[in-house]
Amino acid sequence: MFSTDVLSFLSNSIAVDTNGTLEFLYEWDGQAVAREVYKLSVHAVPQTSGIWLFTAGFTFAINELYIFSSAIEALSFLQCHNYLIADNKPLAFASTGLTPNSSQISHLHRLFPLARLKLIFGRDLPGRVADCRVALWWKDQEAYFSYCRNNVYIQFQQANYLIPEARFSLNSFEKKAGLRFGHRTLKPPDKYESYHQLLTNNNLSYE
């Protein structure tokens, strides 16, 4: 599924065994705390405090940080946007695992203080909530999200907001709350929940 260019580009952050199984280590304080495993019939993504991380360029020069909920989604995204390999610009890919948390994002902010975020979480509601929470945590802020009867309810800085689920996004939250984070959310074409789904359903790459 993944081209040799993609696998080679990310090779220092991937382990591949003789059967073609891909393994990605999630680390915290220099120690491996979890792993993600991908093979033909199995994709196991951890819920973890650790981070899977790939950097191209010196840490202090990174100005684009792409954040995912799985390392396989990062590979799929890169397969679909392989011009990033040829661009040879400093960038970083990070996966938080299934549920991002504020400690992970604070750590990434310390590593890459000049970076703008590219958020590649799922198109589904949990993915869109993750977009918002990560953007807030990057600014050391917090909000509380709940869901009832097709509406998303948000408590933020002593104010309450309601946004219909169909219209809910990081952008709609920013407009409601008068915020401007300056980060981008990147989603696959409308009928796909993730870049991995796009890739597996079409067996193609696009730019």
pLDDT per residue as tens digits for the range 131-161: 999 999 999 999 999 999 999 999 999 999 9
Can you tell me the distance from the alpha carbon of 39 to that of 89, in angstroms, rounded to the nearest whole number? 30
Please report, for the chain, the start and end positions of each structural domain, with discontinuous segments joined by +.
4-142+180-202
pLDDT per residue as tens digits for the range 153-183: 999 999 999 999 999 999 999 999 999 999 9
> What's the pLDDT score for residue 18?
81
Task: Compute the half-sphere exposure of residue 127: CA atoms within 13 Å on the CB side of its CA.
Answer: 19
User: Does domain 4-142+180-202 match CATH 3.40.50?
Assistant: yes
Backbone angles phi, psi at 80, to 5 degrees: -85, -15
Per DSSP, which regions of 14-132 are E strands?
Answer: 15-16, 22-28, 31-39, 42-44, 47-56, 64-68, 91-97, 116-120
Decide: 205 and 5 in contact? Cβ < 8 Å. no
Can you tell me the distance from the alpha carbon of 185 to that of 197, in angstroms, rounded to the nearest whole number? 17
Question: Has this prediction a pTM greater than 0.75?
Answer: yes
